Structures are given as structure tokens and as C-alpha cells.
């Protein structure tokens, strides 16, 4: 069992690391790719957004979709990641979880994590580091280790 499992994710990729202490070099233990996370809305759906007229004047504009195809794909990917983390928690692969993701994807992860797995979240880092180096991740972990009561 590892002391910390670190998830670094965005809508297109998730990388899982294990580490005993946050000042050590993390070891990659898994990865999930989501190729559709790199696509644009127009590539995910053939539907065009609806059109609307202004109440005053003749201007027309597209109606923005609150839950467009890109957001739905990101939510499905967050659910896949959450399932993987929950399975790892059930197998006692880690004690504490550190989630590293940009704010929009972090919000999706919070929604999808089951209660018992969410209870193991020791800290969240609001940065998109999935395409950064392990050195970048390590610097961010060292910077916040004082904020994590279990570190």
C-alpha cells in the first residue's frame, strides 16, 4: 500500500502516481487516455446550436449549450477515472489521494468520486499539469506539503 496516490488529469488524459512522502519522486503506476477529450464540439456532434433573435432589433445569435458534447465527454472520462480510483481504494492500494487538475475538470472529479474515495482526498492542486514533467509535479507537491496534515 502506498501512502499517497496522486492523480494528475485533464479531459484528455489521467496519470496515476504513487509516493510514500510528498518530497520524494513520484512513480507512475497507471495511465488512462481519452482521445475524444482532444476533439472540438463540432467533431463530437453534428448538431448545430439553435439560433435566437434579440428581443429588440434583428440580430441573431447562436444559443450556447450549457452541457455540450465536450462537457459530456469530459464528465464520462471523469467517471472512468473515479471508478479506477475507487477500485484501487477497495484494494487498499493507497491511504491518501492528491488530485491535480485544472478547476473545470477538478469540479467534475469532485462530482464523480464516490463518497468513500472522496474521503481519502488529502489535498487538491488547481493546476493542469498532465502534460508537464514529473519535476513540475514534484515542485508543486513540495510547495503544498505543509498544507497537507498527513504529509
Q: What is the pLDDT of residues 26-72, one digit of tens each?
A: 999 999 999 875 655 444 444 555 555 555 555 654 544 556 777 88
Q: What is the pLDDT of residues 75-116, one digit of tens each?
A: 999 999 999 999 999 999 999 999 999 999 999 999 999 999
Q: What's the distance, CA 126 to chain centroid?
A: 10
pTM: 0.80
Residues 76, 81, 85, 88, CA torsion sign = positive
The candidate with the shortest Cα–Cα distance to 63, out of 71, 72, 54, is: 54
What SS3 state is found at 23? coil
103-112 helix and 69-90 helix, angle to the nearest 10 degrees: 50
What SS3 state is found at 103? helix
In order of their start, the domains of the chain are 2-147 (3.30.420.60)
**Distance (Å) of CA 79 to CA 24, 140, 151:** 29, 25, 27
Amino acid at each position: 500500500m502506498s501512502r499517497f496516490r496522486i492523480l494528475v488529469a485533464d479531459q484528455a488524459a489521467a496519470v496515476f502516481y504513487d509516493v510514500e512522502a510528498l518530497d520524494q519522486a513520484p512513480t507512475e503506476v497507471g495511465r488512462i487516455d481519452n482521445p475524444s477529450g482532444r476533439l472540438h464540439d463540432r467533431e463530437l456532434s453534428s448538431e448545430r446550436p439553435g439560433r435566437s433573435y434579440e428581443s429588440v432589433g434583428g440580430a441573431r445569435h447562436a444559443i450556447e449549450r450549457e452541457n455540450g458534447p465536450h462537457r459530456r465527454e469530459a464528465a464520462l472520462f471523469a467517471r472512468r477515472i473515479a471508478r479506477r480510483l475507487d477500485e484501487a481504494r477497495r484494494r487498499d492500494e493507497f491511504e491518501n489521494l492528491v488530485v491535480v487538475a485544472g478547476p473545470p475538470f477538478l469540479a467534475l472529479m469532485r462530482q464523480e468520486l464516490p463518497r468513500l474515495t472522496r474521503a481519502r482526498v488529502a489535498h487538491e492542486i488547481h493546476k493542469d499539469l498532465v502534460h508537464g514533467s514529473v519535476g513540475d509535479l514534484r515542485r508543486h507537491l513540495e510547495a503544498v506539503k505543509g498544507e497537507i496534515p498527513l504529509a
